[in-house]
Amino acid sequence: MSMVEVVQLLLSPAHRYMGRPADGPAATHEDELVETVEVRRNLGIVGDRYFGHPAHRRASITLMAVENLPTQINAAVDLRQTRRNVLLRGVEIDAYVGSAISLDSGSGPILLAVNTAARPCAWMNATIGAGAQRAMMGKGGVRCTPLSDGVLTLGPAAFATTVTDAQGTR
């Protein structure tokens, strides 16, 4: 087990990146950055645009390392531009594809199956700046399925790899 930091949490109830990147994202009427999110097993983050959608069960939560944000392109880049849900400091999360991990920010561990890489798309160039898609190749974060219920909050968190089966049991 190691200690990491949950730097940002994004709860986005609406799709903002539809159509062509050149047209820009849809407007949001609220701050999507939150201090706490509720996670439900096999469903995702309560209130998020992908919560409970069968097509997104293997990608209902996305994690990214703050160290991989393309700050050289845009110093103010955060989860609102990348559209990932959880921004972590202190772990190279992209290396954990195919693993099961545990993240505990104080309310008990949440188990996540790290299924695939979250590949950056052309929207990154539109929302972050020219060259962002290329800069994030191979380090755009990971797409996960929650294997347990729980709560994530900003701040310190325990991070560990776990041995689980498809139902999330150890």
For the stretch 99-143, pLDDT in tens is 999 999 999 999 999 999 998 888 788 888 899 899 999 999 999
pTM, two decimals, is 0.86
* pLDDT at residue number 81: 85
* pLDDT at residue number 164: 56
In Å, how far from its chain's centre is CA 162? 19
* pLDDT at residue number 128: 87
Please tell me the number of Cα atoms within 13 Å of 78 on its side-chain side.
11
* pLDDT at residue number 80: 85
Residues of the chain predicted below pLDDT 50: 166, 170
Inter-residue contact 45 to 38 (CB < 8 Å) = yes
Rounded percentage of the chain residues whose pLDDT exceeds 70: 85
* pLDDT at residue number 145: 96
* pLDDT at residue number 140: 93
Dist CA 45 CA 166 (whole Å) = 19
Dist CA 40 CA 82 (whole Å) = 22
Residues with Cβ < 8 Å from 19, sequence gap 6 or more?
Answer: none
